[in-house]
Chain A
């Protein structure tokens, strides 16, 4: 009897994506543990990783990291395929679309902070749309728009600042993860 061995051939790119996705998943778990008054208002710390990946390795890698984070985060938080999972998926997909456009803005003037704020607004816009169409089909939902908009602005700026700071750190250049 021969033992069959299945070997996956992985590239350095795969390893990098896996490492970055792990960092994003860790931050997503911290995110979920932070108590906040309104469901849906979250700092979105894992987006810091997305922003850094976007700046260092481009949109394709960022999309991989973001997608893996949503799915693995869903498994770890136990909400895979639940409404919360689809909210998070919609937010990630819409943000990535906006980021695809945002990275073409001239870098001299628009940095990670712009990307972060734009993505945060796209995130809530996508989620509100999904919630309105599917979860809470009532216009009363739009009364919460100001709360979500302010949260998007504040957390968007904070995450963008952190990403910009880490990107400006010289020890950060090679891997995109800090050397400990």
Chain B
């Protein structure tokens, strides 16, 4: 008895649809990526959108000087800021959707955007 004789016509169809589903899942999950982003704003306007899956560091020039923002291991933080109180620097790493660090004197903010934001903003 051959194994192939056990496969009925509809079985081929189901297997084919299954294979299509697999291909589709590859395309959806690994091409577009589900990576979250950090949004950097200067003066209220979007300056950059950083993929949290890619480690990098950027410098944003505001009215007071340069603010440095770094992404590492899916988190983002303000590394340095010319502002007086350093609130946004001391806030440390942001990792949850909706978390935001605002460097008000330099008019720069960085916020984690998720597909579903549990809060409008989080501050401490």
Interface of B is mostly: helix
Inter-chain contact B8/A117, CB cutoff 8 Å? no
State in angstroms the CA–CA spacing of A142 and B115 once bound together: 14
Q: How far is B14's CA from A105's CA once the two chains are assembled, in angstroms? A: 12
Binary contact track B40-75/A, C-beta < 8 Å → 1, others 0: 000000000000000000000000000000000000
Chain B interface size, as a band, is 20 to 34
B91 within 8 A of partner (CB): no
A105 to B10, CA, bound (A): 9
A-B contact count (CB 8 A): 76
Minimum C-beta distance from B19 to chain A (A) = 6
Spot the interface stretch: B23-31, B76-84, B104-112: B23-31
Chain A residue, CB-CB nearest to B3: A161
Given contacts A142-B34, A143-B29, A146-B30, contact A117 B6 (CB under 8 A): no
- Mark out the residues of chain A between 26 and 48 whose CB falls within 8 Å of any chain B CB in the assembled complex: none
Instruction: Tell me if A108 is interfacial: C-beta within 8 Å of chain B.
Output: yes
State whether the Cβ of B92 lies closer than 8 Å to any Cβ in chain A: no
B residues with a Cβ closer than 8 A to A are: 1, 3, 6-11, 13-15, 18-19, 21-22, 25-26, 28-30, 34, 115
30 contacts between A and B (CB under 8 A): A108-B8, A109-B8, A110-B11, A110-B14, A111-B10, A113-B14, A114-B8, A114-B13, A114-B14, A117-B11, A117-B14, A118-B14, A121-B21, A143-B34, A145-B25, A145-B29, A146-B22, A146-B26, A146-B30, A149-B18, A149-B21, A150-B22, A152-B18, A153-B21, A153-B22, A156-B18, A157-B15, A161-B6, A161-B7, A164-B7
